[in-house]
């Protein structure tokens, strides 16, 4: 959005329309183009005309002064944005460009009175607004030329990069086929940060690295990518498979959706391969090689991984250098990105030297059996058949987004020795329904349908390959994904205008849970009951063969499963206060003495309860 705003401002400034950012007033408009007098229309004739038509007016092209001043205004806007972002280095760099342009205008030395007023007004405005970034600007401007001012600003930005020279340049490791691990002033600053402010993060990354290091290095080597890029993954995601950024980049390599798909990763309702250590690392290796083909420099590849190849390419074109350590126009985060990677690498090479505890690499991640499954089965049932925990199964299949395997042919990973066990028992497992078919009626929206059936809008859009979630029509049939409700009968259940039939098939969780029979009371809802037993309404539906939208009624008996070790008497149950409620009414409703209810809620002022308060009733 920021780049669009800058582009708009630049276009507006070039054509003299001006641009306002907040309460800032930009400078005087440039003169508009003179109108062109159109030639008079010629009378129609059958003969070919060879007459040369002369324009009686002339087109005024922008003068060098106007062109230079327009460029300076664009960089002024960039400086304002950088100041608002708190990026002082970027402000100083933009000011150096502005004064370079103004020095050129000054050397032009052919300004008329109006141009001179524009020039001096703009210069004074820059000095007034940005004096805090270089207090000597005003004094210099009073005594010397703008060329001196430009040199002074240039020295400010050079200070940041000065210590990256050869005198402070230490190479820790430099082998053929590897990224040179170096330490300079900026890397030392990053190391100190990881030793202090982010010490806990760094130690945690070292622990996590031990689980994936052998796998990552193996894949990177096979794709002829330097193994040092493992440190990029540590910095990007802490090497967590479920890492998600505020920009919705996901996985250990923090792929955005479009980049992931471009390099062969599958993302659909059932799976997100950005979360898979093997598939995502292979895709990352392909992406890194693609970037290397463009930049032919691994430091620039790292920068492009962070900022995008287009952004790095523009900086190279502007600065006429391909040396990352000398580039000044990269975004602030990217200027610190490679030094941070070098710092992580230096610490991981000698953790004890920097005060961290080392963790040696574990056996290579990925030592498991596989079995191709062609229908959807609930993961919890598969885990129970294999004699492993649900979490263990999910850990080796992190790409799975739902509680069931996909409704298409899928290669499921299993711990060593469990393939034959599952293969023998698979035929006895109940197949999960993949979808419920819904016919759209007048007034329906995808959002309302998603709420009704307890699935996300994104899932419905993906399951039906909708290009626009707002374009559904009456009579259209939509597939509503039903992953996780595997206790329903196999196949599809048809819903017409929201009417669905209850289906049979109830779970047996006796291996890990205890069943309680709950008698529905007047006014109860599944949400209320679920809240009392610290579970979900969707689970209660599954446990009792109910479908979404089916009503419950007083005196109806519901199966509630609670973890073993808990009893009906010891399970904490809560009631959410509604408008008009009082302690007495709640006590009467649940047949509890008022004094007993007060004892269960010692921290609550029973004379003042409000809608939304949680009252313990058991």
* CB-based contact 436:488 (threshold 8 Å): no
User: Mind listing the pLDDT tens digit for each residue in 202-220?
Assistant: 999 999 999 999 999 999 9
* Tokens at 65, concatenated: 């002064």
* Tokens at 203, concatenated: 């130690």
The backbone region for 86, taken as left when phi is positive above 0, alpha when psi lies in -120 to 50, beta otherwise, is left
* Tokens at 142, concatenated: 């009073």
Q: How far apart are CA 501 and CA 84, in angstroms?
A: 59
Strand segments (E) across 261-392:
369-373
pTM of the model: 0.55
Instruction: Tokens 């329906």: give the residue.
Output: 444
Residue 43 has pLDDT above 70, yes or no: no
User: Mind listing the pLDDT tens digit for each residue in 429-441?
Assistant: 777 666 677 888 8
Burial of 77 (0-12, 13-18, 19+ CB in 10 A): buried
Residue 596 has pLDDT above 60, yes or no: yes
* More confident site: 614 or 319: 319
The three-class DSSP label of residue 10 is helix
Question: φ, ψ for residue 563 (rounded to 5)?
Answer: -60, 145
Burial of 348 (0-12, 13-18, 19+ CB in 10 A): buried
Question: φ, ψ for residue 171 (rounded to 5)?
Answer: -100, 115
Residue 61 has pLDDT above 80, yes or no: no
Q: Residue 141: enclosing H or E segment and its boundaries?
A: helix 136-143
The backbone region for 592, taken as left when phi is positive above 0, alpha when psi lies in -120 to 50, beta otherwise, is beta
CA quadruple 479, 485, 486, 490: dihedral sign: negative
The distance in angstroms from the start CA to the end CA of the chain is 53
Mean pLDDT of 406-411: 91
pLDDT of residue 456: 74
Q: Could you give the angle at which helices 277-295 and 309-319 cross, rounded to 10 degrees?
A: 20
Q: Does domain 369-428 have CATH number 3.10.350?
A: yes
Which CATH architecture describes the domain 513-616? Roll (3.10)
Nearest-10 Cα torsion for 121, 124, 126, 128: -130
Mean pLDDT of 578-594: 81
User: Mind listing the pLDDT tens digit for each residue in 113-141?
Assistant: 788 888 888 888 888 887 777 655 555 45
Q: Give every CB contact of residue 225 below 8 A, 6+ residues apart in sequence.
A: 285, 288, 289, 292
In the chain, % of residues over pLDDT 70:
75
Vertex 591: Cα angle to 586 and 595 (nearest 5): 70
| Domain range list for the chain | 2-29+60-162, 168-354, 369-428, 435-495, 513-616
Q: Residue 517: enclosing H or E segment and its boundaries?
A: strand 513-519
Select from 3.30.2130.10, 1.10.530.10, 1.20.120.80, 3.40.50.720 the CATH code of 168-354. Answer: 1.10.530.10
pLDDT of residue 565: 55
Q: How far apart are CA 534 and CA 528, in angstroms?
A: 10
Q: How confident is the model at residue 482 (pLDDT cuts 50, 70, 90)?
A: low
Q: How far apart are CA 177 and CA 224, in angstroms?
A: 8
Q: Tell me whether the CATH fold assigned to 435-495 matches the one assigned to 513-616.
A: yes
Closest C-alpha to 195, from 350, 402, 78, 2: 350
* CB-based contact 183:166 (threshold 8 Å): no
User: Mind listing the pLDDT tens digit for each residue in 154-172?
Assistant: 544 544 554 454 446 788 7
* CB-based contact 459:481 (threshold 8 Å): yes
CATH number of 435-495: 3.10.350.10
């Amino acid at each position: 959005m920021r780049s669009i705003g800058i582009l708009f401002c630049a276009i507006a400034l070039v054509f003299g329309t001006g641009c306002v950012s907040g309460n800032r007033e930009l400078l005087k408009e440039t003169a508009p183009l003179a109108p062109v007098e159109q030639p008079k229309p010629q009378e129609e004739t059958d003969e070919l005309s060879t007459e040369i038509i002369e324009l009686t007016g002339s087109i005024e092209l922008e003068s060098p002064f106007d062109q230079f001043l327009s460029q300076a205004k664009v960089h002024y806007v960039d400086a304002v944005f950088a100041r608002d972002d708190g990026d002082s280095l970027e402000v100083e760099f933009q000011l150096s460009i502005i004064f370079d342009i103004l020095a050129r205008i000054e050397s032009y030395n052919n300004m008329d009175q109006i141009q001179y007023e524009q020039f001096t007004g703009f210069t004074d405005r820059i000095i007034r607004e940005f004096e805090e970034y270089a207090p000597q600007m005003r004094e210099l401007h009073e005594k010397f030329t703008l060329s001196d001012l430009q040199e002074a600003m240039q020295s400010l930005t050079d200070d940041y990069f000065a210590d990256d020279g050869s005198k402070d340049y230490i190479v820790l490791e430099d082998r053929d086929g590897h990224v040179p691990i170096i330490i300079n002033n900026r890397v030392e600053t990053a190391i100190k940060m990881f030793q202090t402010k982010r010490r806990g993060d760094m130690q945690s990354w070292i622990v996590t690295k031990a689980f994936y290091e052998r796998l990552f290095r193996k894949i990177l080597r096979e794709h002829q990518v330097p193994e040092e890029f493992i440190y990029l993954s540590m910095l990007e995601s802490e090497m967590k498979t479920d890492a998600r950024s505020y920009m919705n980049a996901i996985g250990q390599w923090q792929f955005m959706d479009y980049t992931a798909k471009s390099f062969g990763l599958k993302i659909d309702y059932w799976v997100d391969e950005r979360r898979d250590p093997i598939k995502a690392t292979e895709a990352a290796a392909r992406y890194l090689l693609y970037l290397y083909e463009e930049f032919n420099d691994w430091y620039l590849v790292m920068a492009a991984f962070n900022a995008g190849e287009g952004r790095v390419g523009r900086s190279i074109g502007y600065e006429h250098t391909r040396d990352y350590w000398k580039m000044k126009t990269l975004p602030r985060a990217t200027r610190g990105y490679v030094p941070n990677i070098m710092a992580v690498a230096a610490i991981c090479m000698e953790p004890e030297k920097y005060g961290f505890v080392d963790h040696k690499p574990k056996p290579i991640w990925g030592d498991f059996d596989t079995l191709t499954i062609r229908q959807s089965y609930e993961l919890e049932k598969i885990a129970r058949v294999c004699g492993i925990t649900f979490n263990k199964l999910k850990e080796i299949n992190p790409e799975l987004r739902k509680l069931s395997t996909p409704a298409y042919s899928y290669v499921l990973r299993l711990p060593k020795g469990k393939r034959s066990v599952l293969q023998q028992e698979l035929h006895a497992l109940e197949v999960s329904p993949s979808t419920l078919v819904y016919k759209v009626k007048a007034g329906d929206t995808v959002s309302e349908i998603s709420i009704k059936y307890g699935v996300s809008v994104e899932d419905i859009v993906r399951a039906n390959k909708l290009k626009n979630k707002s374009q559904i029509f009456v009579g259209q049939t939509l597939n509503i994904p039903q992953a996780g409700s595997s206790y329903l009968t196999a196949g599809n259940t048809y819903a017409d205008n929201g009417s669905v039939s209850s289906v049979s098939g109830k779970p047996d969780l006796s291996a890990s849970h205890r069943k309680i029979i709950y008698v529905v009371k007047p006014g109860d809802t599944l949400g209320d009951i679920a809240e009392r037993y610290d579970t979900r309404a969707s689970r209660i539906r599954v446990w009792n063969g109910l479908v979404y939208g089916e009503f419950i009624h007083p005196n109806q008996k519901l199966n509630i499963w609670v973890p073993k070790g808990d009893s009906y008497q010891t399970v904490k149950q809560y009631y959410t206060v509604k408008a008009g409620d009082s302690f007495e009414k709640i006590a009467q409703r649940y047949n509890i003495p008022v004094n007993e209810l007060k004892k269960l809620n010692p921290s609550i002022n029973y004379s003042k309860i409000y809608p939304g308060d949680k009252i313990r009733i058991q």
